[in-house]
Structure 1
């Protein structure tokens, strides 16, 4: 099997079996396409040729080109997921892969290229390019393999003479640099009140786009939902009687999120006086529509929120996620339980939600420094 078809199969696996979001699948696909191009430059065009050395060199090349640590961390996750899937599918149908070339080590023992031993130690792969040698002669500040010994590299394939090669999980020990921990941007309550008041004033002029924008921002802030969750909403997902909205989050997991009275009024206004003016025959059940009557996309929401936050003092990201961060922080500031906030946001891990406790602590410290006479 070639790398291209393998990536296609893996993409189907992520979509059908794992239920990943389209955004995540696109990111993984882009990462693996870049990996395949990097491998092709080194004469590798099949999964059996993917070794830990090659994965390491790919990440090292990205760091040399100035990719952010968060991007390298995602690339590492993409590679580990792909490698693990290759190993599982290869073991279930080993005949689908070609046998790996065999080489003789300095000790005279014959093995597959970079064969993995029972102890987890591996021999180095053949045909290391000058670029690969250079990357190991001048190692980065982080070790993508998690090992100080470059020779401890699982191979891409194994198999004895006369046997079909089984692709092993070569990236199982791949490591990436830890992403810099930065506190998310949080808009103050007064700033949010100003943003919403400005949107309400525009909506009062009767423009359907302004009515929609008010409902979009109110719902993002009130429910703390992701932009992909907002744009995926249908009219029937909003329960105006119970003040809840049903969203589909990461991994196609559904959850029901409450929202407040201001958001209710904004959504009702949009449904009664804004949406009918944008709706066309092909609009379908989408809650939020663009000016052409189609479902509003994530880019349009990003541009809306970025434009609003550009006028607000303070640094940091200015996309819709800032409103999600703001909603979570304001909930904790108001005394909400951390577990409740986790459920509201749809976080699988409580550790992800705990970042907002740090934000609240920082805001408390800042208030102390400004208010206490002996701070």
Structure 2
């Protein structure tokens, strides 16, 4: 089965144009299933053939994942991965049936996106907008400002190049999931600050060779997605943000604040690069909660107790 997993990974990259991180996640999910099958005696002769895998095996694996505490969202992703894998094997003629076809996703309560309140975000932005002549400080500030101003995924930010920027036209080209490109407007202050960042970068001669990535490590290499996470966590921690402090929290914050200030769901969908409108509509829940809070605070009858009514 190992060979088929590797072939599936190559198919994902070449034909589905999936990102390296997506392929890595799919591969780990499938290797985890393969390990389960071997541990449970599904490969008695040492060879695990996909055709021998049945619905009972898949359900047993799902139950084991649930019993060991795997989050519902992660279990559902793994089910989806395995279903896609067997769909690929059927297309290639390796198997004649998909044992995951009748396995349904687990039900779970939908969690609202975690975001930073606007008042706290405003204070953080004011601090970060103070320019610095030191490369690391200027880069760290720009990483957070760009994530909040553009709603980027951390992998999208890490892959930005100098050619991605059009500072004169105040736009940035982003390569999203499925190699889909989108253009995002830059705020005037963000474009101006990017110019300063590039000046500092050039003055300190951080760039190594012909490296044209926008965000670099202190050694002049491309800033990794892990590096982006570390920077954001540090900045949000220093601002007193509790709970999750990841680049994705800034993406949620970007979308939530836009919706709270009247942006349409369709526009936010385009800016985020969501393929489905349903993925964007979750942000309307935060907007509704904000409206309820304002309503309950402002309406003259909201504070009446039951007896007065």
Q: Same fold (TM over 0.5)?
A: yes
Instruction: Looking at secondary structure, tell me which structure has more helix per residue.
Output: 2
| RCO comparison, higher one (Cα < 8 Å, 6+) | 2
Cα deviation, residue 372, structure 1: 3.5
Residue pair 1:187, 1:326 contacting (<8 A) in 2 also: yes
Gaps of 5+ in 1: 91-96, 98-165
Q: Which residue of 2 aligns with 1:69?
A: 72
CA RMSD after TM alignment: 1.7
Whole-angstrom distance in 1 between the partners of 2:240 and 2:122:
14
CA distance 1:243–1:311, change in 2 (3 Å): same
- Higher CA-based Rg: 1
Structure-to-structure mapping, 1:295-310, within 5 angstroms: 295-310=222-237
Moved over 4 A (4+): 311-316
Structure-to-structure mapping, 1:155-304, within 5 angstroms: 166-201=95-130, 203-204=131-132, 206-277=133-204, 279-282=206-209, 284-304=211-231
Structure-to-structure mapping, 1:1-375, within 5 angstroms: 3-41=1-39, 42-44=41-43, 45-90=48-93, 166-201=95-130, 203-204=131-132, 206-277=133-204, 279-282=206-209, 284-312=211-239, 316-375=243-302
Residue pair 1:84, 1:172 contacting (<8 A) in 2 also: no
Whole-angstrom distance in 2 between the partners of 1:279 and 1:178:
49
Whole-angstrom distance in 1 between the partners of 2:254 and 2:300:
31
Once the two structures are superposed, residues 308-361 of structure 1 have per-residue CA deviations (whole angstroms, 9 ceiling, x without a partner) of 223456654220111111111111222212211111111111111111111111
Once the two structures are superposed, residues 158-202 of structure 1 have per-residue CA deviations (whole angstroms, 9 ceiling, x without a partner) of xxxxxxxx432111112221343111122222211211222234x
Q: Which residue of 1 aligns with 2:305?
A: none
Whole-angstrom distance in 2 between the partners of 1:275 and 1:178:
52
Gaps of 5+ in 2: 303-309
Whole-angstrom distance in 1 between the partners of 2:294 and 2:49:
58
CA distance 1:12–1:366, change in 2 (3 Å): same
Cα deviation, residue 20, structure 1: 0.8
CA distance 1:53–1:275, change in 2 (3 Å): farther
Q: When the two structures are superposed, what TM-score results if normalisation uses the length of structure 1?
A: 0.75
Whole-angstrom distance in 1 between the partners of 2:65 and 2:254:
35
Whole-angstrom distance in 1 between the partners of 2:185 and 2:107:
34
Cα deviation, residue 307, structure 1: 2.0
